[in-house]
Structure 1
Amino acid sequence: MWGLKHTVAQPKIANKEGEIWWVIAVFLIALSFQFELASAFFYLPAFLVFTFWAILRQGYGGHGKLNNKTLLTMFFVFFITFIPQTLFNFKHDNILLGALGNALKDRKEINLTFWEFIKFRFDFYYRALTSIIFPQKQNTLNAFLLAAIGIYIANAKRLLKAKFVITFLIFIISPIIGFLFFRANEAKVYDYYLVGYFVPFIILFSAALSQLAKNWLGIALLAVFFLIFFQTNIPMINSYLKKGIAPFTFKDQISSVKWVLDDARDNPFSVDVWVAPIIPHAYDYLFLWLGETKRPIKDADSLYTLYEEPGNLYPERNAWLSQKNKEGIVEEEVQFSGITVQRRTKTR
């Protein structure tokens, strides 16, 4: 979309590069679906809004513009990218579409009024986006955030002419509006759902603060900002480099799943997994991948429970574990770093 914005804004370049940028943009959007659907899903409405804006500005048809030939190529590239996932989905009992359907079902819908829900969702947007700049010291960030908003309002005509501002604003607004309609699963939305929008937010925020560099007072304020920024973030980066961010690794996840499969041998077994994002897709994939023909069976007598740490921060985990203790007695427990695996015998 960055390349498209450049070509739409400059018709001479559009004649040379416009068509290929449309195809590249669609290919990258489709490719992003392979990595993180929750974040990439809102690329589509953002891209559609951008497309309509481009057509209004540039027109439709003709060399270098969006035309029938380019449109057909875009559809072809978009759908061909999904062939691997489609084959995987049907090979493994519709696991992808089934998981998506379950995530969208209105189970345990959050009990909030319209305005309470709006506040609830915007509190999440604020926390998720601002924490990537100042994980702490939110009050300090509020001052700079208000300053950035004020700068955009005061310089709206000039800043909106910048090539990147409209593109990134469309990107940011898309999930903000989209998640307002998601109320399923107690309306739980996690920070990583917005991972694809962190960079646009940072660029827009930085563009506003850059306007302060036009006088000495503004430069002094920027110096204060960077002093606080580095003071807050450098210790956290050092901690990450030394200790890592999670108490377990992908290798630990594989080891935990392999332990269940080896321990169960040829006996039927069921598995119940708790992870912080609630929906344990990662372990569903691992059991399908590593288990081959040996797969968990619902309501088997042998029950394995698997949960990740830190879980004591989540009341849901404690409630889940209490329920599992009622369902079965722990016979054996093993740990793989921050992952606990238990074999249980179900109580009658």
Structure 2
Amino acid sequence: MARRTVRIAMNGVTGRMGYRQHLVRSLLALREQGGLDLGGGDVLWPEPVLVGRRADALREIAARHGLAETSTDLDAVLADDSVEVYFDAQATAARPEALKRAVAAGKHLYTEKPTALDLAGALDLARLADRAGVRHGVVQDKIFLPGLRKLKRLVDGGFFGRVLSVRGEFGYWVFEGDWQQAQRPSWNYRAGDGGGITADMLPHWEYVLHELFGRVTAVTARTATHVPRRIDERGRPYDATADDAVYGIFELRGGAVAQINSSWAVRVHREELLELQVDGTHGSAVAGLHGCRIQHRATTPKPVWNPDLPTGDRFREQWQEVPDNEEFGNAFMVQWEAFLRHVVLGTPYRWDLLAGARGVQLAELGLLSSAEGRRVEVPELVL
């Protein structure tokens, strides 16, 4: 058996997502299981090199997990020929420049989204990476979640017939930071720092809709800043200059219409933080992060609405749970595995920087739609 070590510069692991999902639940989890099986007896061993601005925080994380290398000098890490992959989970505003430096150093790229602050920057990154001949990938974790993988199984099996519509609800209440600490960093609410739920979530909805139902061809959106004043990590009040909610209508190739509400100012009254209902001519499904329920047309009841009487129907009890039928790994880890195989073995991988640019494009056009109060067509992107 041959063990191939791949050294990965990880920038942004002091943040919640970079630390929990990418370092602990993905790369360290791969190490705990003995590495990534490449087939033929070969194993890939990921070796993280922690990069960031806060040396003490990096050293504490490294000591906690028995890692050897940390650095606050990104250029020095990128100059190290033994580092093959650069991963970025920084705040959005810092990401494009770091990715460009990594491309110039010849590193393969794997990055959180959005990949840039605007479409021009996202396309520029994709072109630079292609010209440099490096492999590149963008985190698109939600399509690897158990609930959405079950939904994809239904789509591929023809369960829905012709898909008519998709309705989604995402979000939760993010505390203002005064009497309870906020669950999200304050930069998320500052437009100048790349904040805003439109920039954060519309890239997710682009790839979810694209992968499951077809490319988004037009968007009509309305953004809002429902909570205009918040308290930052140091206890100082600040004005929220970025949107904390976006209500979108997305027209899809093939004629289906998707409506998705995203909000950090909503209290949850649903089974999961994300729920998508898909209605088709032959059946419907409601999928969350983990579960998925269905109702086929042959078992659809015929309710009659009488405003004078309360209904006796228990509508949720009339749906059937979709079985797992397989073991679903952590969504972030599953995509890390696919990307690392792509880097080492050259296996096909379609979630690249062009796919990331489509997400930035949809967010940009969603903001334009809201600002101008109109429907905006979404052109197909090519490099």
TM-score of Structure 1 vs Structure 2, range by shorter chain: under 0.3
TM-score normalised to structure 2 length: 0.21
TM-score normalised to structure 1 length: 0.23
More helix by share: 1
Larger Rg: 1
More strand by share: 2
